[in-house]
Structure 1
């Protein structure tokens, strides 16, 4: 028997036993899971064949010796030293014609399958640096026992006749796929076509299905149990939802308006699959309205899962709680905030246990960040690629979609087109300040339309604030202005552009008020549990019969989705979308007739690390000047004013800037993924590995670090325990808990903390690939992670 995996078990009395899984069993299981993942999108046989062939190379005596040495003999072996991915690639490529034009569709099918096989431990570029095809390279590679592996595969696992039959069926599927891709290519005859980019997404989709199936079967063998499928019953979730909202109060006009929006979304759920805009004013009950839509739509169109994608962790914390209350079934929900485990070095030939502990998106309802969703679409790490197939046959709700970085417009738009037209996804773009994605260089599908249309009398109910331009102020003048408002006995929220600004202003005001007013600080320097505690404390203070006057100085983590209401808001000048979102935290429920939201341009502001905020701030300045000079707009947050803002914002972008330019490559990620030079007789030439390597949501590399806040110290101890190393179930539970105690920071900050310090406050748990803050002196109960000594602004999500 040729071995895929060996499981070592130690009983209570110390007895060691071994269990074995054959390569044939593992390949069949992987094929089954991969085909199930892509059945709904018409790629069932293609995925099955890729899964069946993914571990052909393990059918060798050399691999048996390697795995026995590693597990039974406990020898030091180099992980991935026995190449097992090339053999499957060789087997399928042997059926490829030597010249383009002989049998185009079958050859394209073969290349797509070969890519998924070859990339299931890490993406690769279809064209090497010397312009040689990566497929040709794999065919010519010697000393990897391919002939032995292929012969044994045919004897032990599948016949040549079965492979030929599957290939014919897969080719028929790819023909249908090719027709769809041609139909969604929106370029003109004289422009470079988008078709190669769409095939890069097909490569990612097939690879995703194989990776997930491979990891799933391996995990089931390691745990010695089959993964329980979460039962899917949208009818029950919808019934629970309707029961939850039935008793909502409708005492105020704003409550009635929210009810109307919700009911209209329920009716709109009957519309066919597609891309829709949901333009609802801040405070309009968008979370529950979009949830109601998603449940109704998923029930009607038999969707496998739904995603709620939010730009900030603070939104997830609150909205997840609201969603859980509404559906009343925790088992169907997964909150995926961050990757606690680092899989930076996962692109080798063999799995390690840390990869099996990466979160997959199997649950019917996923609540995640925009960062995680974009990583799933474009990042090169296998944990991200693995999740891509989960987006098929789903409802995807993007909350505050205007938060999408402008450099990603092309990648985002074309991927959404692919998900909707090929993968049967329905996409909802939610925003009170809708960006014009359909006017980008590479457009969303022309069929994009508004999900609902609100009458003017409903919109009027949400006119609760007035935006006031206060001009420029120094930090000292800003502090004085804030103190004036505090002395007027009003609760105050100040939203800053950087964590350094927020910290400085917080400390200035705290020194002045001298404990006479409760002071709060909120930023991404705090872990999820910490921020949740702060928000709950503020809500309690503000909801008392005689509400307390409080002051909160925050970064944009409070800006969207946090259901809290202050008498007054100061927003440091940024993009108008950010200003409008901050305004949504003022007089949120119409407690008073009209309150003020002040826009302040902070003098000497340092935004060199935050280029997009600086660009957006400039577009807002253009709008403010337009209002001063021409008085064109009756309100700064009117649809006309917001439209002017986006025109200015996009006009400031150079040609190609929306394609995700990589300066040191002199190329864009779109260009890498849209490459189509035929090499050595092969169609695929896209550079998926290079594109995945250079993709990042932020301009600097970020990592997650567990901090010793509250029970975070216990989590750290549990992760460092011997039990976590040898007990998979226990390790899973601990890692799940750890997500509440992580903070995102830049890689250079981690290195600075470790630099020249024998007792560095940061340690790296190599077994799990996790950074841990080991010194509580660097975590402040009011400010969170305190890295003043090494500088840096941190991250906003």
Structure 2
């Protein structure tokens, strides 16, 4: 039986979304009218660059970037993807898919499509959403550069308030801005929210372009409601959706992912896409069939000068890190995980990127400076970093391919190497779903020839086709709650990140001096300035340490006075097994 539904089954959802957008428009108008009456000086400050100004700045920036670039194979493919995206932008409104290999210039091409499409259809705004704050921050930085430094609205939990001019802090309330960079959580949870303050931005999405970057990162349990909501926006309210990825989910065909999408326009023709993936093959995949100990893995990795190793759990990452730190063969070892605060992780990335840059001087040619980065999945999906050798603990196929996307990214080497292994001493995988997908990947890798084509889109599409058949795409029955007009229940159920961790502030950078200056009743801007110095901990950690090494310096603001490791971060927050 088809999951698309007839008009009679779709009508309640259409009415529900119409009600949401009516509430959004009325709530926003009420807020703005009250502001104009009580705070006219604030109302007058609501202004920013228009979309035509952004388009003009982008075209000038691209003209400069494309001026006489080296005619390398990589640049030829990037130009072809870019030019095709611009051409496709003159098509009708609807749902589009841009599938490009890592390194194909997806960010630049997707922004070109969005701006040109908005200009062609006389839209007012472009919304760019990414799955994780690390990617969102990076996307915002690249977008600002491509737009000639014009201010954009960066709206997510890790965006420093001081980065935004005052008018854009106002625009964050209702997304009255021409270019917005946000997170999946902010965008998709708002689309399913019930409170007026959260939904007042939604009517701005009508007749806009929404870019969903790394779309494969949407949790499977929510793909049904997400796809249905996006399809409604596209069909009824003229919104164009651009799905971007290097590991394409099956957005068309007979999989449950298609609970709503009835037609998807491919930006690239199938033969063109296949040619690009073949042309940008830069990694050789190898597999360690037998489980490997941390000691043996350390010996294997330290034979290389520069390595990135990605583990499935924080405990595994720390176990391997300790083996590296105990050997003299790895003089420069760094770590990335959510045991570190965001500012720490950003500093590590900058430090590692500097080590990966070629050394200057005649005598330094072809000499790689040693650097070993041991990470959890926080490095995957969009972090712009380039290693000649990567290793990945066996996990779901998209995670393997995302790690491979950090290998030989800029074609600095004839071929990069990606090692897939299974830890002999590893801790249990994070969830039942993760274990199921890992087992499916193990079976897939055992098939003849799969390792040789692992980074080709056909393998990903086959994986996703099976995945969406095996897993619940509306695990929380959100669509039924929407049909019943249960707005409060929908908001409660639609939580993309099931994270009950409590943020604690750690002794890193300027955190403690900022805490000392924190007002008795801190405002949102005060807390946002401190958001980069927090580590999420579980309730048992709070219960164990509150009143001792963990103390409440302001209502709801916790400070950790215990050790914060300069390499690993807040080791004490790792649950004891």
TM bucket by the smaller chain?
0.7 to 0.9
Residue 403 (structure 1) shift: 0.7
**What corresponds to 2:397 in structure 1?**
576
Q: Hey, what's the Cα distance between the residues in 1 that align with 2:284 and 2:240?
A: 35
What TM-score do you get using the length of structure 1 for normalisation? 0.64
Which has the higher relative contact order, 1 or 2, with Cα contacts under 8 A spaced 6 or more apart? 2
Cα displacement string for residues 712-749 of structure 1 (whole angstroms, at most 9, x for unaligned residues): 3344344x315x66xxxxx4653553444444x36xx1
Partner SS for 1:277? strand
Q: Is the 8 A contact 2:46 2:170 kept in 1?
A: no
What TM-score do you get using the length of structure 2 for normalisation? 0.87
Residue 541 (structure 1) shift: 0.7
| Match 2:550 to one of 746, 761, 768 | 761
1:412 aligns with 2:210: no
Residue 775 (structure 1) shift: 2.3
Cα displacement string for residues 81-132 of structure 1 (whole angstroms, at most 9, x for unaligned residues): xxxxxxxxxxxxxxxxxxxxxxxxxxxxxxxxxxxxxxxxxxxxxxxxxxxx
Residue 215 (structure 1) shift: 4.1
**What corresponds to 1:246 in structure 2?**
66
1:303 aligns with 2:303: no
What is the count of residue pairs matched by the alignment? 553
1:491 aligns with 2:276: no
Q: Where do 5+ consecutive residues of structure 2 fail to align?
A: 162-168, 360-366
Q: Is the 8 A contact 2:224 2:474 kept in 1?
A: yes
Q: Hey, what's the Cα distance between the residues in 2 that align with 1:715 and 1:217?
A: 36
| Match 1:673 to one of 459, 467, 482 | 482
Q: Hey, what's the Cα distance between the residues in 2 that align with 1:301 and 1:432?
A: 27
**What corresponds to 2:408 in structure 1?**
587
Residue 499 (structure 1) shift: 1.8
**What corresponds to 1:637 in structure 2?**
455
**What corresponds to 1:228 in structure 2?**
46
**What corresponds to 1:783 in structure 2?**
568
Partner SS for 2:422? strand
Cα displacement string for residues 753-777 of structure 1 (whole angstroms, at most 9, x for unaligned residues): 14573346253844xxxx4341243
Partner SS for 1:194? helix
**What corresponds to 1:144 in structure 2?**
none
Q: Answer with 1 or 2: which has the greater Rg.
A: 1
Cα displacement string for residues 525-554 of structure 1 (whole angstroms, at most 9, x for unaligned residues): 333332222111111111132431210011
1:624 aligns with 2:445: yes
Q: Hey, what's the Cα distance between the residues in 2 that align with 1:248 and 1:486?
A: 40
RMSD, matched Cα: 3.1
1:422 aligns with 2:236: yes
Partner SS for 1:774? strand
Cα displacement string for residues 236-264 of structure 1 (whole angstroms, at most 9, x for unaligned residues): 33234324423474253212221221122
**What corresponds to 1:535 in structure 2?**
349
**What corresponds to 1:601 in structure 2?**
422
1:208 aligns with 2:28: no
1:567 aligns with 2:388: yes
**What corresponds to 2:510 in structure 1?**
711
Q: Hey, what's the Cα distance between the residues in 2 that align with 1:204 and 1:784?
A: 42
Q: Hey, what's the Cα distance between the residues in 2 that align with 1:360 and 1:764?
A: 32
Q: Hey, what's the Cα distance between the residues in 2 that align with 1:593 and 1:619?
A: 31
Q: Hey, what's the Cα distance between the residues in 1 that align with 2:457 and 2:509?
A: 45
Cα displacement string for residues 699-720 of structure 1 (whole angstroms, at most 9, x for unaligned residues): 34355555453123344344x3
**What corresponds to 1:280 in structure 2?**
100
1:512 aligns with 2:327: yes
Partner SS for 2:42? coil
Trace 1:157-196 onto structure 2 (pairs within 5 A).
Answer: 186-188=4-6, 193-196=9-12
Q: Where do 5+ consecutive residues of structure 1 fail to align?
A: 1-184, 342-354, 662-667, 676-685, 726-730, 793-797
| Match 2:283 to one of 430, 449, 465 | 465
Q: Is the 8 A contact 2:216 2:249 kept in 1?
A: yes
Q: Is the 8 A contact 2:277 2:456 kept in 1?
A: no
| Match 1:721 to one of 514, 519, 528 | 519
Partner SS for 2:562? helix
Residue 429 (structure 1) shift: 0.7
